[in-house]
Amino acid sequence: MKTIAIIPARGGSKRLPGKNIKLLGGIPLLAHSILYAKQHDFINEVYVSTDDEAIKQVALQYGALVIDRPQQISGDLEPTVSALKHVLESIDRSVENVILLQATNPLRPKNLLQEAFTIFQEKQVDSLFTVSRSHHKLGKITNHKFIPYNYEVGQRSQDLEPLYYENGLLYITKASVILNNEIITKDAFPLEVNHPFANVDIDTQEDFDYAAYLVGKFQI
């Protein structure tokens, strides 16, 4: 039984055209996730799912296998699980585990994936995903009135009840779960990652500029 990595990378980004092949630290954005996956010997194959020829050529250049994604599952509103399921249904392999690496989260702590995969195996869960703690004072606006959600007015930030957000750094899921149209299951293990890289999710030029700053800061 095999463990594979899948990196979905559509073309046609509207807010940052060509973002998946835009150079970050001297290499295409997509290449960061490919090279990260290829550093781990428990990953048998690295796949890129794309509908874009330029992205396909970059993926092949950096040693990934490419699955051509049909247009009917390449739209803006199509869930990521559709691309993952299509890859599994397109390859003639017996796959046990799928590691999802999003191209738009290109920076990850070096030892994170090894740590995550070890926990995934030890906990014997069907899926694992990374989260980070939020230190924001959150609230809702109802009838033009701000209503605090996770704090009381005047409360210090360090005394907030811990809340966490899905940071998108990585996901590990049983292939059988994906074939059932899921990625995160009810028993999914939330692996806490509090690192500057967890704040990078590239959708705009400002996001890209912040990632470039971190590449320089951490000399990646």
* Residue type, position 48, single letter: V
Q: Give the pTM.
A: 0.95
Residue 15 catalytic?
no
> Is residue 62 assigned to a domain?
yes
pLDDT of residue 220: 83
Range of the domain at 186: 2-131+164-217
> Is residue 8 assigned to a domain?
yes
Which CATH number do you get for residue 82?
3.90.550.10
Structure tokens at 164: 């966490």
> Is residue 169 assigned to a domain?
yes
Of residues 62, 68, 12, 36, the one with CA closest to residue 170: 36
Rounded to 5°, the CA angle 170-175-180 comes to 105
* DSSP strand pairing (163-174 vs 95-100): antiparallel
Instruction: Name the band, by pLDDT with cuts 50, 70 and 90, for residue 160.
Output: confident
Convert the pLDDT of each residue in 173-193 to its tens digit: 999 999 999 999 999 999 999
Instruction: Name the band, by pLDDT with cuts 50, 70 and 90, for residue 1.
Output: low
Convert the pLDDT of each residue in 88-141 to its tens digit: 999 988 999 999 999 999 999 999 999 999 999 999 999 999 999 998 999 999
Percent share of the chain, pLDDT over 70: 100
pLDDT of residue 59: 98
> Is residue 206 assigned to a domain?
yes
Of residues 208, 164, 216, the one with CA closest to residue 190: 164
pLDDT of residue 93: 80
Distances (CA, A) of 126 to 50, 73, 165, 180: 26, 25, 20, 12
**Number of folded domains in the chain?**
1
Rounded CA-CA distance 33/205 in Å is 19
> Is residue 148 assigned to a domain?
no
> Is residue 142 assigned to a domain?
no
Sole residue written with tokens 């994604």 = 69
Average predicted confidence (pLDDT) for the chain: 96
Instruction: Name the band, by pLDDT with cuts 50, 70 and 90, for residue 159.
Output: confident
> Is residue 192 assigned to a domain?
yes
Rounded CA-CA distance 65/68 in Å is 10
